Amino acid sequence: MTLRIDRYSPLRAVLFDVDGTLADTERDGHRLAFNAAFEKLSLDWEWDVELYGELLAVTGGKERIRHYMEKYVPAESNKAGLDSWIASLHKAKTRHYVALLESGKIPLRPGVGRLIQHLRDSKIKIAIATTTTPENVTALLKSTLGEDSPGWFDVIGAGDIVPGKKPEPDIYLWVLERLGLPAHQCIAIEDSENGIRASLAAGLDTVVTVNDYTRLQDFSGARLLLSDLGEPTQPFTVLEGDAHGAVWVDADLLLKLKD
């Protein structure tokens, strides 16, 4: 089917979350980078897979470090200059994380590259709405989709540019404003409860693709809950909702979800 996208189309942009949605970046990406930064600063902290899953309740790396300190090393969390200490620890973490991405070890999740290309071909805008640091987004896109791929996105909203990180809707509202589009002409793709709370609060229909850290979370309000975005050779599994007989996500399916 040839899609006719004009200013009245019910679907003019797709807003992608990053961590857990574009790629499985948390367990073998961010977590390892945090641990490498701790080691570099001679801290005897180690975030194992299970503890990291618990810490993911707090979005944003700096916020996550502060939360960990308050809960597990409270004496340390009272020290003077804590904000700048956390900021420099987090800078080291970002350096490790970007190096890890540049080594090409973290691939996109199934269907992500295909859907991004298809939306571009269909003249549907694409955007990013994430709590992660901007350098991380650029490094992930370049290492998976190519050097010029950050330029494919009409808007990239990332990191500390808004006051409230997810589950606050701020980053989605920021991206919508820059796209110049109302929420009802857009759709969000998320992987976590904090993420969908943010997107729904911004008024966005939301498709969720779960991962190992998020599959048991509460996704009430999702238009569709899927294992992943699916590929023609690797169909998705529908966990909740009506996929209208589709086995991979494309613009046709996303448009049907807007009816």
Which residues are designated catalytic? 17, 19
Interaxial angle between packed helices 134-145 and 112-121, expressed in degrees from 0 to 180 and rounded to the nearest 10? 90
Residue from 11, 37, 61, 251 in contact with ligand XBP (CB under 6 A): 61
CA distance 197 to 59: 12
CB nearer ligand XBP, residue 189 or residue 246:
189
Burial class (CB in 10 A: 0-12, 13-18, 19+), 94: buried
- Strand 13-16 to 224-226 pairing: unpaired
Please, which of residues 153-192 interact with ligand XBP by CB under 6 A?
A: 166, 192
214 is a contact residue toward ligand XBP (CB under 6 A): no
CA 253 to chain centre: 21
Residue from 17, 168, 170, 205 in contact with ligand XBP (CB under 6 A): 17
192 is a contact residue toward Mg ion (CB under 5 A): yes
Using DSSP's 3-state secondary structure scheme, residue 234 falls into strand
20 is a contact residue toward Mg ion (CB under 5 A): yes
Quick one: tokens of 49? Answer: 């897979």
30 binds, among Mg ion, ligand XBP, none (CB under 5 to 8 A by kind): ligand XBP
The 10 Å Cβ neighbour count of residue 110 is 19
Q: Tally the residues of the chain.
A: 259
How many residues touch ligand XBP (CB under 6 A)? Answer: 17
CB nearer Mg ion, residue 176 or residue 255:
176
Q: For binding to ligand XBP (CB under 6 A), which residues are involved?
A: 17-20, 26, 30, 59-61, 130-133, 136, 166, 192, 195
